[in-house]
A and B are shown apart, each in its own frame.
Chain A
Amino acid sequence: DSGVTQTPKHLITATGQRVTLRCSPRSGDLSVYWYQQSLDQGLQFLIQYYNGEERAKGNILERFSAQQFPDLHSELNLSSLELGDSALYFCASSVGGGGGPGEQYFGPGTRLTVT
């Protein structure tokens, strides 16, 4: 158990819909990262928040957005869903926001299926 929690575990929805994925970081960690894992693209970094502010951005689609709240939990919002958005979405957390080594701890993931 990494200490990172993600809800829900599974999500099935239809094309065009909007969903919200939730992540709670390990106690004391200030950074939250979101990653997408699909069969054809592998594991891809989407976005990082550090202490409530966006710190780094990857190949995140404009239809996707995220935020980190004062209690440090984070939400990833996916809208206008397409079949290709079906994937595993992982959240990770770390103590720092960059600089130095900074190991990350991953949650169990949310499996999103778009039908």
Chain B
Amino acid sequence: DAKTTQPNSMESNEEEPVHLPCNHSTISGTDYIHWYRQLPSQGPEYVIHGLTSNVNNRMASLAIAEDRKSSTLILHRATLRDAAVYYCILRDGRRNQGGKLIFGQGTELSVKP
């Protein structure tokens, strides 16, 4: 399984944008880039995914490098509720691989008021 590298922790101020980086230099053509987050005492929560193009949804934006070897999750205005561990995951999109998610250590985001 292709691996991702993320900073262990990041800090942000409330109502400011946050850019969470992820390196995935061994990504293959069939890998989707997924982001999940885990709030304290909860199960992981889907945030966003992309394949080649940048993506936006109500929670966040995902910027994908042209060579797909890195990506950045963007929270446009951090709130205290966004404090969580953010996981960048490469999910193999081939049918015979099932749908498993391989979690790394993630980035622990803290948000200061």
Chain A interface (Cβ < 8 Å from any Cβ of B): 2, 4, 31, 33, 35, 42-45, 48, 50, 55-56, 58, 90, 92, 94, 96-109
Specify which of A35, A98, A103, A106 is in contact with B49 (CB 8 Å cutoff).
A103
Find the B residue at minimum CB distance from A103: B46
A98 and B94 within 8 A (CB): yes
In the complex the two chains form, what is the Cα distance from A2 to B44 in whole Å?
A: 10
B44 / chain A contacts, CB cutoff of 8 Å: 43, 90, 92, 104, 106
B43 and A109 within 8 A (CB): yes
- Residues 62-113 of B at the A interface (beta carbon under 8 Å): 87, 91, 93-105
Find the A residue at minimum CB distance from B38: A43
Specify which of B43, B49, B51, B102 is in contact with A45 (CB 8 Å cutoff).
B102
Interface size class of B (residues with CB under 8 A): 20 to 34
Specify which of B32, B42, B103, B105 is in contact with A101 (CB 8 Å cutoff).
B32
A35 / chain B contacts, CB cutoff of 8 Å: 101, 103
B51 and A101 within 8 A (CB): yes
Closest approach, in angstroms, between the C-beta of A16 and any C-beta of chain B?
28
- Residues 31-45 of B at the A interface (beta carbon under 8 Å): 32, 34, 38, 42-45
B98 and A104 within 8 A (CB): no
A101 and B91 within 8 A (CB): yes
Closest approach, in angstroms, between the C-beta of A51 and any C-beta of chain B?
12
B103 and A44 within 8 A (CB): yes
A48 and B103 within 8 A (CB): no
B43 and A55 within 8 A (CB): no
Find the B residue at minimum CB distance from A49: B98
Find the A residue at minimum CB distance from B94: A99
Closest approach, in angstroms, between the C-beta of A101 and any C-beta of chain B?
5
A99 / chain B contacts, CB cutoff of 8 Å: 93-95
A45 / chain B contacts, CB cutoff of 8 Å: 100-103
B97 and A108 within 8 A (CB): no
